Structure 1
Amino acid sequence: MSKIQKRETHPLYYVALGDSLTVGVGVPIFTRAFVDQYLELSEQALNHNIYLTIFAKVEATTEEILQWLSLPEVAVKVSHSDIITLTAGANDLIHAAEAFLITKSTKDFNDALNKSIKNIARIIDKIHALNPLQKYTYLIRLLNLYNPFPDIPEADSWIQNFNARLKMFSKIPHIGVADIYHPFAGRQKELLSIDNVHPNAMGYKVMAESTYQLGYDHFLQ
């Protein structure tokens, strides 16, 4: 009997945490964005119905998302989750870019980089604290950042530094980092919506497929 068959009688839970990318900004209402597409791919891969809960807000920063994990309704869902996705860091970048345009100081980018990575580390620590230690079969999927500002060299440098540091979390066996940067690079006009910041339907499909390609091996061990 396979691992999937053994778990068929148990419900599976997916918690999606994040910013506007988890909300699905950039596509018309009722259009399937990242979370819904990744949910469908996961259900197909695991041959199992998965119950979805979303905690996301437009313009949410890494600090705000960290604070949500202290809310009872969020903590309960996370503590029972089998799959967790996190989109975070883009708004930290946007705030740094806005400050840079005024001050012209790269310190704004460096400060935002350090703060956002520390917050994501704390988010992961909080998730671990909420989930039983013996339950390390759950998956955490972090998505790195694409560059919506290809004309701002400082922004691209920030994003690449952010992504390099985010990738270090994938050393933890049940954590995977989906690469969104490279699939979007040079294809912004094709994959971004009319606001030139958020993905369109095709862009969200790329995000979902990149996350799906990380697989479910650890979850099935």
Structure 2
Amino acid sequence: MNTITAVDGGGGTVPGAAHGGDRAEERRTTEPVRFVALGDSLTEGIGDPLADGWRGWAALLARSLAPPVTDVEFTNLARSGALTTDLPAEQLAPALVLRPQVAAVVAGGNDTLRSGFDVDRTTRALDTVLGRLTDGGAVVLTACLPDPGTLLRLPRPLARPLARRMRAVNTVVHALSARHGAVHLHVADLPWTADRRLLSVDRLHPSAEGHHLIARGFHDLLTATGRPLGPAPAPESAEPPPGTLADLWWMATKGTRWVVDRSTDLLPGLVALAAAEGYARLRGTTDHQDHRMTTATTTALAALPPPPTTPA
């Protein structure tokens, strides 16, 4: 029987589900698998609702992280709106206390939506978190993320700066995943825009079906490493994608507040970025901004200290 206890980012305890066999004697002599998730709203589970909160891909994966005779202790520290710098500042210390054998670190999308985006700061924050968790003996799970401008169908002058930032974050995550030996899932490559059923009504977070797809993707990668696991998360029964009325209702009841909360910080910066994009386009130098971000990303990665060598 796999018993999962999920702890939300605010410290509340939410009882999880149990399934599997009843080999109690063997279970008592088997150390539970400790799984901790760090990140933002994607890992918190937004888009995959339960009666009293959110479930999400990490909780779905937790149910499959060990054979039926082994317990799984799952703690979700992810918080909606978290930036990469919030992970070492707020989530890393409680994660390390739990001594996880598996740790998920998925963040960076919110960084691209803030006016003060700094790829060097993002790089250093993620490197710190991945390094500390790996040094603690955890198998770390990472993911590259889809471009929010594309998901939200923003106009090109606004979408292109966001896409540039997301490419930079994903480049960093790819490099740091290799640096720390993380198990990396290419979430950005999943068919988010081709299959509307994978996105929730807000067009930014996965639907229940999308969260299941991410959980199964990580399960497949972990299976390939030879790690003993339980059965893969069962596919979510497909639901019709949200229609126009559902989209309008979400915007009227929740989306407007979401936009307003971010407009005070994001919109002025995006307007300036869009103006710069338009000016560059008129001058025929639209690739210059891309080159500057690429250079900044390369510089940020090159500035990291060498990883510690493992004694022979």
1:113 maps onto 2:115 in alignment = no
User: Which structure has the larger Rg?
Assistant: 2
1:58 maps onto 2:99 in alignment = no
With 112-121 and 16-25 compared, the bigger mean Cα shift is at: 112-121
1:26-37 aligned within 5 A? 26-30=47-51, 32-37=55-60
Q: SS at the partner of 2:64?
A: helix
- 1:93 corresponds in structure 2 to 112
1:15 maps onto 2:36 in alignment = yes
- 1:122-149 deviation digits (Å, cap 9, x = unpaired): 11223245x2xxxx4x310012111232
Q: Percent identity?
A: 19
Give the total of aligned pairs: 192
* Structure 1 segments (4+ residues) deviating >4 Å: none
* Larger fraction in helix: 1
- Hey, what's the Cα distance between the residues in 2 that align with 1:83 and 1:39? 10
Contact 1:18/1:88, CA 8 A, preserved across alignment: yes
Unaligned runs of 5+ in 2: 1-25, 229-312
- Hey, what's the Cα distance between the residues in 2 that align with 1:118 and 1:213? 29
- 1:42 corresponds in structure 2 to 65
- 1:103-159 deviation digits (Å, cap 9, x = unpaired): xxxxx5xx5333212210011223245x2xxxx4x3100121112321412222322
- 1:194 corresponds in structure 2 to 201
1:1-221 aligned within 5 A? 9-30=30-51, 32-44=55-67, 48-69=70-91, 71=93, 73-77=94-98, 80-95=99-114, 99=115, 111-128=117-134, 131=136, 136=137, 138-150=138-150, 151=154, 152-172=159-179, 174-187=181-194, 189-216=196-223, 217=225
Q: CA deviation at 1:172?
A: 4.3
- Hey, what's the Cα distance between the residues in 1 that align with 2:46 and 2:92? 25
TM-score (structure 1 length as normaliser): 0.75
Q: SS at the partner of 2:162?
A: helix
Q: SS at the partner of 2:66?
A: helix
- Hey, what's the Cα distance between the residues in 2 that align with 1:185 and 1:193? 10
Q: CA deviation at 1:69?
A: 4.6
Query: In the alignment, residue 33 of structure 1 is paired with which amino acid?
Result: G
Query: In the alignment, residue 82 of structure 1 is paired with which amino acid?
Result: Q
Q: CA deviation at 1:219?
A: 5.2
Q: CA deviation at 1:83?
A: 0.4
> Cα RMSD between the aligned structures?
2.7
Query: In the alignment, residue 21 of structure 1 is paired with which amino acid?
Result: L
Structure 2 vs 1, CA of residues 32 and 113 (structure 1 numbering), >3 Å: closer, same or farther?
A: same
Larger relative contact order, structure 1 or 2 (CA cutoff 8 Å, min sep 6):
1
Q: CA deviation at 1:195?
A: 1.2
Structure 2 vs 1, CA of residues 70 and 39 (structure 1 numbering), >3 Å: closer, same or farther?
A: closer
Structure 2 vs 1, CA of residues 194 and 186 (structure 1 numbering), >3 Å: closer, same or farther?
A: closer
Structure 2 vs 1, CA of residues 195 and 186 (structure 1 numbering), >3 Å: closer, same or farther?
A: closer
Structure 2 vs 1, CA of residues 118 and 215 (structure 1 numbering), >3 Å: closer, same or farther?
A: same
- Hey, what's the Cα distance between the residues in 1 that align with 2:202 and 2:209? 15
Structure 2 vs 1, CA of residues 113 and 173 (structure 1 numbering), >3 Å: closer, same or farther?
A: closer
Q: CA deviation at 1:75?
A: 3.0
